[in-house]
Amino acid sequence: MALQEEFKTQGDFLFTNRSYLPLIILVIGLAVFIHTKYYQIETQNILLFGYFEFVCLGMSLLGLLIRIITIGITPKNTSGRNTTEGQIAEELNVTGIYSTVRHPLYLGNFFMWLGVAMLTNNAWFTVSFILFYMIYYERIMYAEESFLREKFQDLYLNWAKNTPAFIPSFKNYNKAKYPFSFKKVLKKEKNGLAAVFLLFWLFNM
C-alpha cells in the first residue's frame, strides 16, 4: 500500500474511534500523576509557585472555549463528536473560526487535554502527550482533508491555500455565515465542561 493510501486508511480508522483518545489519556495520566505524587518526583514548577493548577485549568478552558466558538457557528450535517459512520459534510465551513484555521475542533481538543496532561506535574508525560497527539491527529486530519478535497474540489483547495491547518492566522478572517447557537453549544458541550472539572477534581483528590 502506498504511503498516501496508508495514511488515509489509518486516518479513517482513527476518525471513527477518536472518542477513545480521552480515555487513553485519562488512564495513563492518572497513573503518571499517582507515580509522580506518591514517589515525590521533583518537577520544575518554581516560576509558577502555587498557581500551576490554575494555569492547567486555564489551558483546558481555552480549549473548551475554542470548541464552543466552533460548534456555535457550525451548520448541520457535519461530522460530530460521536460520529461513527465516517466523514459527513454537506457544506464546507470556511467562515468564522474556520477562516483562521482548518481544524479548530482539534485545536480545541489539544488545549483541553494539554491542560490535563500538564496537571500530572510530569514534564516527560506532557511532552509525550504532545508528540502522541501530533501523530494521532495528523492521520485524522489527513483523512478528513482527503474527503473534503474529493467532495468540494476547487472550493476546498482555494480555502486550504489561504487557511493554516492547525496554527491560526487572522489575516483572512471572515465573519461567520451562521449566527451563534447557544442551544447547539449546550447540547454538545455540556458534557465536555463537566468532564474538565471532574478530571481536575480527580487529580486533586
| 188 within 8 A of 76, measured Cβ to Cβ | no
Tell me the three-class secondary structure of 162-204, residue by residue. HCCCCCCCCCCCECCCCCCCHHHHHHHHHHHHHHHHHHHHHHC
Given a cut of 90, whether residue 169 has pLDDT beyond it is yes
Tally of domains within the chain? 1
* pLDDT at residue number 101: 96
Range with the poorest average pLDDT among 20-34, 56-70, 79-93? 79-93
Confidence of residue 14 (pLDDT cuts 50, 70, 90): low
C-alpha cell read off for 164: 493554516
Which residues fall within 8 angstroms of residue 83, CB to CB, at 6 or more apart? 16
Residue type, 1: M
d(CA 186, CA 178): 17
pLDDT attached to residue 15 = 63
CB 102 within 8 A of CB 152: no
Q: Look up residue 96 and give its DSSP letter.
A: B
CA atoms within 13 A on the CB side of 178: 18
CA–CA separation, 141 and 14 (whole Å): 10
Torsion 53-54-57-62 (CA) sign: negative
pLDDT at 102: 94
Three-class secondary structure of residue 89 per DSSP: strand
Q: Percent of the chain scored above 90 by pLDDT? A: 29
**What pLDDT was estimated at residue 190?**
76
Check whether 40 has a pLDDT greater than 60. no
Residues 40, 29: Cα–Cα separation, whole Å? 16
Average pLDDT over the chain, rounded to an integer: 79
**In the predicted model, is pLDDT for residue 66 greater than 90?**
yes
Q: Which domain holds residue 152?
A: 3-39+47-203
- Position 17 scores a pLDDT of 62
Interatomic CA distance for residues 23 and 115, integer angstroms: 15
**pLDDT at position 156 over 70:** yes
Please give the pLDDT value at position 158: 93
Count of beta carbons in the 10 Å neighbourhood of residue 161: 7
Residue 92 scores a pLDDT above 60 = yes
Nearest to 87 by CA among 6, 141, 7: 141
Helix (H, G, I), strand (E, B) or coil at 78: strand
Confidence tier at 144 by pLDDT (50, 70, 90): confident
Segment 53-76 mean pLDDT? 90
pLDDT tens-place string over residues 106-131: 999 999 989 988 888 888 888 988 99
Listed range (22-31, 40-49, 196-205) with the worst mean pLDDT: 40-49
Q: Who wins on pLDDT, 77 or 85?
A: 77
Q: Is the pLDDT of residue 104 over 70?
A: yes
